[in-house]
Structure 1
């Protein structure tokens, strides 16, 4: 008879499983990883993960939830670390690029998968929403100060697309190492100039 699991037991195993799954998903791709492989990675029986997760998609959603949450916290901390709307925007952009290259496997699992961020996994949907808000909050700051004009969500998406593009290009070896950050700066300045309300 399996022992009764405490909340701490469950949280600890889920955390260890997510760490192992992130490594395997990054190395092989989620489709190539089995629940048996995930169990073997932790040295437990093939059925043990099912006590903590419904299936592999549930594990992948948990891994991505953790990633989006860490990403949002990094961007929120960057925004809070400086004063002034423009400085906040610059800090958030730099934090975005820094997070991507410090956590490349996590970043790819967050953004390069077809797994939907919907009400199938509530925690993932909430983490994804929070991450999107962190990419828009600094735009709202600049609209409120009159430095920028337009729809904050649309503008945030434009900056996100541009930043994601240079990050992925460098990760794929299409840009020289370390060049994504410099290019991000130049693109952000050009976009901001086009959206500026002042000369």
Structure 2
């Protein structure tokens, strides 16, 4: 008869599974990972994970929720430290998270999963979107930007996501630190600055 699991036992196993599963899903794809393989990597029996999770999809939802929460926390910290008239801190934090945690970032946005069956995942993804939305609501309310704050937020998100995915695919110029000093070429930082400038100017109130 299996022993009764304490809340600490459950939390510890789930966190260990999260770390193992994040790497497995990112490197082999969600369809390329089985519960049996995850159990083997954890060094436990094939049935042990079922004491903690319904199935593989629940594990994937946990991994993605944790990633969204780390992502949202990074954006929230940046927004809290920067004045409302300066958008670069949030966009820099967005890109920095993706480059620091590429596996997690790809799992967040490359997969389709029904949020309705996983309230923690739904709450985590909404936390990230709410942060961006409220950030631009403040800027519009202050008269710094003009327009629908949700549309502006989506435009920034879509643009930053495109930049980030190109950076992760090594399809953008090298960062400044990796370029020879004599090379006269755009840098990855310059591309991001150009995106921010174009979006920012496009959303500023029209002066007459």
The TM-score, its normalising length taken from structure 1, stands at 0.94
C-alpha distance 61-177 of structure 1, shift in aligned 2 (>3 A)? farther
Q: Does the aligned pair in 2 maintain the 1:167–1:180 contact within 8 Å?
A: no
- How far, CA to CA, are the matches of 2:26 and 2:174 in structure 1? 20
Give the equivalent residue in structure 2 for 1:184.
192
Mark the structure with the bigger radius of gyration.
2
CA displacement, residues 26-49 of structure 1 (integer Å, 9 cap, x when unaligned)? 111110000000001110000011
Count of residues paired in the alignment? 196
CA shift, 1:90, in A, is 1.6
Aligned pairs for 1:17-166 within 5 A: 17-82=17-82, 84-87=83-86, 89-116=87-114, 118-166=115-163
Q: Give the 3-state SS of the residue equivalent to 2:23 in structure 1.
A: helix
In the alignment, is residue 175 of structure 1 matched against residue 176 of structure 2?
no
CA shift, 1:137, in A, is 2.1
Residue segments in structure 1 that go unaligned for 5+ positions in a row: none
Please, what is the CA RMSD of the aligned residues? 1.2
C-alpha distance 10-86 of structure 1, shift in aligned 2 (>3 A)? same
CA displacement, residues 142-162 of structure 1 (integer Å, 9 cap, x when unaligned)? 111101111111110000000
Residue segments in structure 2 that go unaligned for 5+ positions in a row: 176-186
Q: Does the aligned pair in 2 maintain the 1:97–1:181 contact within 8 Å?
A: no
- How far, CA to CA, are the matches of 1:26 and 1:145 in structure 2? 41
- How far, CA to CA, are the matches of 1:181 and 1:158 in structure 2? 19
- How far, CA to CA, are the matches of 1:180 and 1:167 in structure 2? 10
